[in-house]
Amino acid sequence: MDLVVAGAGGGLAGALRAAEAGLEVLVIEASENFRRGNNTSMSTAMIPGAGTRWQREAGLEDSPELFLSDVMAKTGGQADAVLSEALTDFSAELVTWLAEGLDLPVELAPDISYPGHSVTRCHTVPSRTGAEMLDHLITRARQHPNIDFLVPARLTTVRTHQGRVCSAIAEYPDGSTEEIPTRALLLACNGYGADSHAVRELMPEIADAVYHGGEHSRGDALRIGAELGAATGYLDAYQGHAALARGAGTLVGWATIMHGGVLVDTRGLRFGDETVGYSEYAAALAARPGSGGWIVFDQRVHELCLAFGDYRDTVAQGVVLTAQDPTELAQACGLPVEALTDTLERAAHSAKGDVSDEFGRSNWEAPLRPPYRAVRVEPALFHTQGGLVVDGHARVLRKDDSPITGLYASGGAAIGISGHGAGGYLAGNGLLPALGLAVLAADHCRGLSPAQHKS
């Protein structure tokens, strides 16, 4: 086998890239329900690309240098410089290859401004759901003669000889195992978000939030990497979200906020500038009384957000309330009438430019107008953003910065470009390393002759 890919999410991009170059690829996946059970499928399919033809067609000027500057600004300069430069440089090529090489129906998402991006650069699919994107990748991979699947099976061990990957051991649900000779392996099995003990130890501020990610994200890549002497980094980094609909488990989406909505706690009060980012706002929401709140918006925002499949799912669940005035809204949500009325009045004055917002928010599309809409939300942990240290080719590195020959990591299995904690997360920081590192790994793998990997 030329390449084994552990994980049938974003890693499928790497499998397809390698297969199109003539490599024989095996995908090992632990879950039979991987079409809907991993973080790629749960995403909004937002892939940042800097300097793409879609941007040029929209009259937008962007560059890898500007994207890199945004990453460093959002992370306070803490993001890994080598990896950040590699991924921002590769971002446009990645989006173009997905569209032209895999026929993914890519489009720019020009109607929403995401926190931290100085220019519109997120590309997505028509439904704006990861499920649509993943279904497309799975269909392409299933049809490719050079790609085989081993499902359900879990990668448990990677064996090396003279410092080079030589085989992978997969375990089946009945406990039996199979050793698969391979010259390269891509760890695309996500991070450790499903390991509640590790989450509580490494990121306690989000430990009591709902985990909204793949059930098999239990740190397998970290364990396997440790056995091989790999270095780790940014283990406190994660993507949180403050817009998970309570009682429905669907993603309301931060577009409700960026189009002009506000987030109030269980006392009917705003508690910060919501536009700083949905990731860091998860911990802020978790710290409020009742560890939850309400996103309040209006009919205009509602209609704009119908472009997102996740929001449509939220509406279909019947959890979006409608009210004609603040009093009716407060009663429907069980919030103090006086507090909510005052909050909405203050927000409206700030949105009109009459006064400066008390929390420093300056991004208001328009003031909210009745009829109002509201969704009860709770904080969530989507996925971890730290992992095995990799270079710009997605090669896993030892503590002395030397690569473990034939071992690669992508997505949550690898360090990301979000720095530490939750505040450095930019929209697309999950999928760019998931898809981008997988493709970069495939490119590096196919550039090595078999002789270089034979033991």
Q: What is the pLDDT of residues 18-67, one digit of tens each?
A: 999 999 999 999 998 888 878 999 998 999 999 999 999 999 999 999 99
- What is the number of other CB atoms lying within 10 angstroms of the CB of residue 300? 15
The CATH number of the structural domain formed by 239-381 is: 3.90.700.10
- What is the pLDDT at residue 450? 39
Is the previous residue joined to 64 through a cis bond, with omega within 30 degrees of 0?
A: no
CATH number of 3-237+385-452, picked from 3.40.50.20, 3.10.450.50, 3.50.50.60, 3.40.50.620: 3.50.50.60
Residue 455 confidence (pLDDT):
30
Tens of pLDDT, residue by residue over 371-394, are 999 999 999 999 999 999 999 999
Pairing of strands 147-150, 25-28: parallel
Per-residue pLDDT, 330: 98
- Amino acid 119: pLDDT: 96
Tell me the average pLDDT of the chain. Answer: 95
Residue 296 tokens read as: 């309040």
Question: What is the pLDDT at residue 215?
Answer: 92
End-to-end CA distance of the chain: 14
- Considering the entire predicted model, what is its pTM? 0.93
Buried b (16+ CB within 10 A) or exposed e, 223-252: ebbeebebbbbbbbbbbbbbbbbbebebbb
- The per-residue pLDDT for 35 is 85
pLDDT at 59: 96
CA dist list (Å): 17 to 355, 446, 447, 452: 53, 9, 12, 20
Cβ 168 vs Cβ 155: under 8 Å? yes
Which is nearest to 147 in space by CA: 285, 341, 11, 52? 11
* pLDDT at position 105: 98
pLDDT score recorded for residue 267: 97
> What's the confidence (pLDDT) of residue 113?
78
Per the DSSP assignment, residues forming a β-bridge with 219 are none
Residues (pLDDT < 50) of the chain are: 448-455
Structural domain boundaries in the chain: 3-237+385-452, 239-381
